[in-house]
Amino acid sequence: MVSAKKIALGVVLFIIAIWLLSGVYIVHPEEEGIIRRWGRYYTSQGPGIHYHIPWPVERVDKPPIAKIQKMEIGFKTIRVGPPAVYQDLEEESLMLTGDINIVDLWFIVQYRIKDAKAYLFNVKHIKKTIKDAAEAAMRQTIGDRGVDEALAIGKEEIQDAAEKRLQRILDHYESGIHVVTVKLQDVHPPGEVKEAFEGVASAKEARERLVNEALGKYNTEVPRAGGEAEKTIREAEAYAVQRVKHSQGEAKRFLERLKAYREAKIITKDRLYLETMREILPDIEKVIMAEPREGLLKFLNLRGKGLEGSLRGGE
């Protein structure tokens, strides 16, 4: 029969075996094993199967150093959906802009652990610290800008500035955190003034549209007018050249006639007379008369019925 002492010894040995076997642990590829001995950092282990002295001597933490973690600020996801359901956390989301306006801002922070030892030992309540630091960085960034930048035109710049500020804060704390991105999810005016802000935004959009239309018209009409002006200038220059050449030709011809006149005045005079008659005679009425008889009037009205009257009077 087995004695009670042997049974107790067996139980003790079994407990010791279980305790020793509890020191076996596995570190997965996306993790890093951090060994604490008596609560202090002792060593780090990479992926694989390892052994440590079981609790309470040593303890193993396995932070996910390769995992991108996400933190929501200004809102909370109630149901992923679809459709997704969110809860607005006004104590986090309401922020004051640089032009003394209030916006309701939701954003997320994505981060990963870059130094597991610093992540576990340098900062207490690390997740709350990240959240508080992110909120502070965003409030400072929004406070440096106007409401228009926050609502529309400056979102990319706000995200970049907040990300850099948050990283500086976490590096100052030696938190071992790398900020992957800061992303604005939703920025809108508070519900009490949302309608007024939407009216202002609509008016600004209309103004931008009209300005763009005017610029489009300007970009169309100015080149066209420039082309017309250039065409007119070229035509005027061509006309000027033509007139100058014509005038020079007329002047040259006149000088030649003058020279010919001086050399043969009577011949030139007769030629000019004949040329003039050749130009004007085709356009006037011509009357051919026989040898004048005695008593015929020397002055006749040669147009219309006056001719017949004049002839009768002469008879």
Q: What pLDDT is attached to residue 296? A: 47
Task: Name the DSSP letter for residue 145.
Answer: S
Q: What pLDDT is attached to residue 263? A: 76
Task: Name the DSSP letter for residue 300.
Answer: -
Contact at 8 Å (CB) between 86 and 77?
A: yes
Domains and CATH numbers, the chain: 4-61 (no CATH), 69-188 (3.30.479.30)
Strand partners, 25: 50
Q: What pLDDT is attached to residue 197? A: 66
> Counting Cβ atoms within 10 Å, is residue 95 exposed (0-12), middle (13-18) or buried (19+)?
buried
Contact at 8 Å (CB) between 18 and 10?
A: no
d(CA 284, CA 219) in angstroms, rounded, equals 59
> Counting Cβ atoms within 10 Å, is residue 80 exposed (0-12), middle (13-18) or buried (19+)?
exposed
Q: What pLDDT is attached to residue 194? A: 64
pLDDT along the chain (315 residues), means of 10: 77 87 90 91 91 90 93 91 86 89 92 94 93 94 87 87 95 95 88 67 80 88 88 90 88 81 76 79 65 50 46 42
Q: What pLDDT is attached to residue 192? A: 63
